[in-house]
Chain A
Amino acid sequence: DSGVTQTPKHLITATGQRVTLRCSPRSGDLSVYWYQQSLDQGLQFLIQYYNGEERAKGNILERFSAQQFPDLHSELNLSSLELGDSALYFCASSLHPRSSTDTQYFGPGTRLTVL
C-alpha cells in the first residue's frame, strides 16, 4: 500500500457525461500528479499540482481539468466524455519536487469506462 488513495476504483459512464476522480496523497506529500494509462498511448502525464498550485501540464485535453484543494487532495474532472477517454487514471504524490530523493508514489488507479 503506497498510502495514496483514489476513488472510485471503477467508473462506468456514457459519452457526453462528466465525471470527477478523486485522489488523496500520502500524508505529508505536497505534490500530486495525474497520469493516464491507455492501450494505445501507454502511460502519459496529464498534470501536476504542488501545494495547491498548478505546476506543470502535459498532454491534457481541454475537456479535462484538475485542482488541488487546501487539504492537498486533488480532483480530476473529465467532461464531454468520449469513447477514447476510457483508460486507467493514476494519481501519484511526492513530498516536493526537486528534492534529491523525491519519488512519486502511485495510487491504485481509477478505471474509467465510457460506453
Chain B
Amino acid sequence: AQSVTQPDIHITVSEGASLELRCNYSYGATPYLFWYVQSPGQGLQLLLKYFSGDTLVQGIKGFEAEFKRSQSSFNLRKPSVHWSDAAEYFCAVVPQSNFGNEKLTFGTGTRLTIIP
C-alpha cells in the first residue's frame, strides 16, 4: 500500500545541536516530496520541496533535505537548531501518477522539542 512513514514520533535535541528527521515513502514511482512545519497553534508552513533534479534541496530557516531513491527516503536536516525550531514536522507526498487528484498524503508527524 502507498504510504508515508515518519518513524520518530518525538525527538528532543539540545539547542545548537544538529537535527535529522526521517521520512520514508512507499510508492511505485518517486512521488513529489515536501516537508511542512506546524508551530503550536499555527498553520502548516512549507519548508522545502523536491520535484526532480539535485537530490539535496535547500529550504527556508536553514533546513535542507536529501532525496535518496535507493532508500525511498527524504530526510530533513539542520546543522544547528534554534529554540524557535520547536514544532511539529510533517513529511508529505504527491504521487506523480495521480493526475486529477493532487492531494497531499502526510506522514504522522515528528514533534521536535529543543532543550537549552
Q: In the A-B complex, list the 9 residue pairs whose CB atoms are closest, starting with the nearest.
A: A56-B101, A45-B103, A106-B44, A43-B106, A108-B43, A97-B102, A106-B43, A109-B43, A42-B108
Partner of A103, one of B46, B52, B90: B46
Residues of B within 8 A of A86 (CB): none
Which residues from 21 to 41 on chain A have a C-beta closer than 8 Å to any C-beta of chain B? 31, 33, 35
Residues of B within 8 A of A101 (CB): 51
Residues of A within 8 A of B49 (CB): 103
Chain B contact patch, size range = 20 to 34
- Which B residues contact A (CB, under 8 angstroms)? 34, 36, 42-46, 49, 51-52, 90, 92, 99-106, 108-109
Q: Complex: how many Å from CA A84 to CA B114?
A: 32
Residue of A nearest to B104 (CB): A104
CB–CB A106/B36 < 8 A: yes
Q: Complex: how many Å from CA A83 to CA B99?
A: 35
Q: Complex: how many Å from CA A68 to CA B98?
A: 22
Residue of A nearest to B98 (CB): A56
CB–CB A107/B51 < 8 A: no
CB–CB A107/B43 < 8 A: yes
CB–CB A2/B43 < 8 A: yes
Q: Complex: how many Å from CA A33 to CA B103?
A: 8
Partner of B103, one of A4, A56, A105, A106: A56
- Which A residues contact B (CB, under 8 angstroms)? 2, 4, 31, 33, 35, 42-43, 45, 48, 55-56, 58, 90, 92, 94, 97-98, 100-109
Q: Complex: how many Å from CA A34 to CA B102?
A: 12
Q: List 20 A-B contacts (CB under 8 A).
A: A2-B45, A2-B46, A4-B43, A31-B102, A42-B108, A42-B109, A43-B104, A43-B109, A45-B103, A55-B100, A55-B102, A56-B100, A58-B103, A94-B102, A98-B102, A101-B51, A103-B46, A104-B46, A105-B46, A106-B44
Residue of B nearest to A88 (CB): B43
Residue of A nearest to B36 (CB): A106
Q: Complex: how many Å from CA A34 to CA B45?
A: 15
